[in-house]
Structure 1
Amino acid sequence: MECTIKDISINYEIIGDGKPIVMLHGYFVDHRLMSASMEPIFKNEDNYKRIYIDLPGMGRSQAKSWITNADIMLDILIEFIDEVIPNENFLLAGESYGGYLSRGLIYKMPNRIDGALLICPVIIAEGKDRNVSNHVVLVEDKDLLSKLTSKDAEDFASMAVVQNEKIYKRYKEEIISGVKLADSKFLKNFQKHGYEFSFNEAMVNEEFNKPTLMLLGRQDSCVGYKDAWNVLEKYPRATFAILDMAGHNLQIEQEDLFNSLVSEWLERVNKS
């Protein structure tokens, strides 16, 4: 599906009917990162409308030179939401930079958001200011790496905390496939000049008192987990889980635990 916002075409996919859930992926990838990890959870759920968007410059959504900062990116998302689900309350799920944008949406329109799922969210936009640990590999698969090209092996090993063929297959299908479609020139320039919001990084005017789940990887060397402690008190209904043997691709490396915790979050949303 396509939605036109100003002069750009935004690609998105809707699966199911019912309570809307807006899904926001991370940087450079596309909506398949979210749909591949979230859809298995909805196999036995038929009352959710899952809305998977490709952010501008990623997947099959266009980029334009006037999209120069995160505030504009956020305005595009708000316009998209108003166009696709006008006047409806919704749930929000965001991963990495999608988690950062999700926190921006909570800041801008908290009364329409009935619950939030934040997966390895960016808390501090500037990478050098994040409190992260060095990358570690807890489960190494030398046989797998030996079968890959040197570049593919290096890229996978630089990110994966747990290495095996199943995780690599998902990494290739759900992450690398999106990266290949990305507008690299636009995204690198955006990251250099406009990645951060102009408003307070706490990004919640008041406490967000709705069911929330924050999932962090104990070995996440990209955004880490320590910075998230500093915003936790703004989310009094949050389950805050730091998963061992999980890096920035937590949803792949800890699939069963991810599915269980997200299912429990949905239960809390339903009870509310």
Structure 2
Amino acid sequence: MKRKIKNVLINYEIIGEGIPIIMLHGYCVDHRLMLGCMENVKSIKKDYKRIYIDLPGMGASESAEWITNSDIMLDIIIDFIKEIIPDENFLIAGNSYGAYLLAGVIYKMEDRVDGALLICPLLIPDYRKRNVPEHVILVEDKMLLSKLTLEEGEDFNSSAVVQSERIYERYQNEILSGVKVANNEFLENLMENGYGLSFDADKMNKKFDKPSIILLGRQDDCMGYKDAWNILENFSRATFAVLDRAGHNLQIEQEELFNSLINEWISRVKEQQ
């Protein structure tokens, strides 16, 4: 489905009925990243309406020259939410850059958000200022690598902490599929000119007191995990988990643990309904 928001066509997919969950993917990928991990979680299959969005310039959503910074991206997301679910409270889930925008949504419309999921959240836009570990491969699958081209192997080695056929299949279907269709020129311009929000969304006026969960990869060399500790006090009902054997794609490298933690988050959300 597509909806015009601020004169830009936004692609999205809705699955199920019930309480809305807004799903925000990361940078350069598309909604298939969030769909791939969240549709494996049994607890959201019933009673929840999952709303997966392609951010501008990613997936099947349009870009525009006037979308020059993350403030505008955030405004588009907020307008989208107001159009699709104008009178309902909702949960919100975000991965990486999507989790960065999620914080902006809470900052601007906290009264409508009943729970939050942050997966490997972007917290510091400037990579040079992040506290990140060196990349490491903890589980290598030489049989798998022997089947890949040199380029495919180098790409997978540069991002994977744990390697297997299952992980590589999901990496292709949920991550690379979006990377291949992204508008790189648009995203490079945004990265150079306005990647960071003009305000600090982590400096909330009050603590977010709804059930939340913050998931980090112990071996995430993109966002790291140490910087996230600084935002924990903003979320007074948050579970904070650092997953070993997991990098920036923790949702596919620690699939069973990820699913279990999301099920637990949903159980806490249901307690307050």
**Residue identity in the other structure for 1:202:** D
- Contact kept, 8 Å, 1:18 with 1:47, in 2: the verdict is yes
Gaps of 5+ in 1: none
The Cα of 1:45 is off from its aligned counterpart by: 3.3
**Residue identity in the other structure for 1:209:** D
1:166 maps to what in 2? 166
2:55 maps to what in 1? 55
2:125 maps to what in 1? 125
2:188 maps to what in 1? 188
Is 2:227 aligned against 1:227? yes
2:101 maps to what in 1? 101
Q: 1:43 to 1:241 in 2, by over 3 A?
A: closer
2:18 maps to what in 1? 18
The Cα of 1:189 is off from its aligned counterpart by: 1.0
* Distance across 2 between alignment mates of 1:170 and 1:200: 34
- Contact kept, 8 Å, 1:124 with 1:201, in 2: the verdict is no
**Residue identity in the other structure for 2:147:** K
* Distance across 1 between alignment mates of 2:252 and 2:271: 28
2:73 maps to what in 1? 73
SS of alignment partner, residue 40 of structure 2: helix
Gaps of 5+ in 2: none
* Distance across 1 between alignment mates of 2:82 and 2:180: 30
Q: 1:210 to 1:130 in 2, by over 3 A?
A: same
- Contact kept, 8 Å, 2:16 with 2:45, in 1: the verdict is no
The Cα of 1:43 is off from its aligned counterpart by: 6.7
* Distance across 1 between alignment mates of 2:27 and 2:42: 24
2:148 maps to what in 1? 148
* Distance across 2 between alignment mates of 1:8 and 1:195: 19
Backbone CA RMSD of aligned residues: 1.0
Q: Any residues of structure 2 matched to 1:21-32 within 5 Å, and which?
A: 21-32=21-32
* Distance across 1 between alignment mates of 2:196 and 2:44: 38
* Distance across 2 between alignment mates of 1:254 and 1:84: 32
- Contact kept, 8 Å, 1:106 with 1:203, in 2: the verdict is no
Q: Any residues of structure 2 matched to 1:181-220 within 5 Å, and which?
A: 181-220=181-220
Q: 1:120 to 1:44 in 2, by over 3 A?
A: closer
The Cα of 1:253 is off from its aligned counterpart by: 0.2
- Contact kept, 8 Å, 1:26 with 1:98, in 2: the verdict is yes
Deviates more, 1:35-44 or 1:135-144: 35-44
SS of alignment partner, residue 109 of structure 1: helix
Structure 1 runs (4+) greater than 6 angstroms displaced: none
1:118-167 per-residue CA deviation (whole Å, 9 max, x = no partner) reads 00000111111100011000001122112111111111100000011110
**Residue identity in the other structure for 1:270:** K
**Residue identity in the other structure for 1:136:** V
- Contact kept, 8 Å, 1:56 with 1:62, in 2: the verdict is yes
Identity %: 62
SS of alignment partner, residue 41 of structure 2: helix
- Contact kept, 8 Å, 2:43 with 2:266, in 1: the verdict is no
**Residue identity in the other structure for 2:66:** W
**Residue identity in the other structure for 2:193:** H
The Cα of 1:42 is off from its aligned counterpart by: 3.6
The Cα of 1:206 is off from its aligned counterpart by: 1.2
1:266 maps to what in 2? 266
SS of alignment partner, residue 215 of structure 1: strand
1:41 maps to what in 2? 41
TM-score normalised by the chain length of structure 2? 0.98
The Cα of 1:205 is off from its aligned counterpart by: 2.0
The Cα of 1:87 is off from its aligned counterpart by: 1.9
**Residue identity in the other structure for 1:3:** R
1:90 maps to what in 2? 90
* Distance across 1 between alignment mates of 2:203 and 2:16: 31
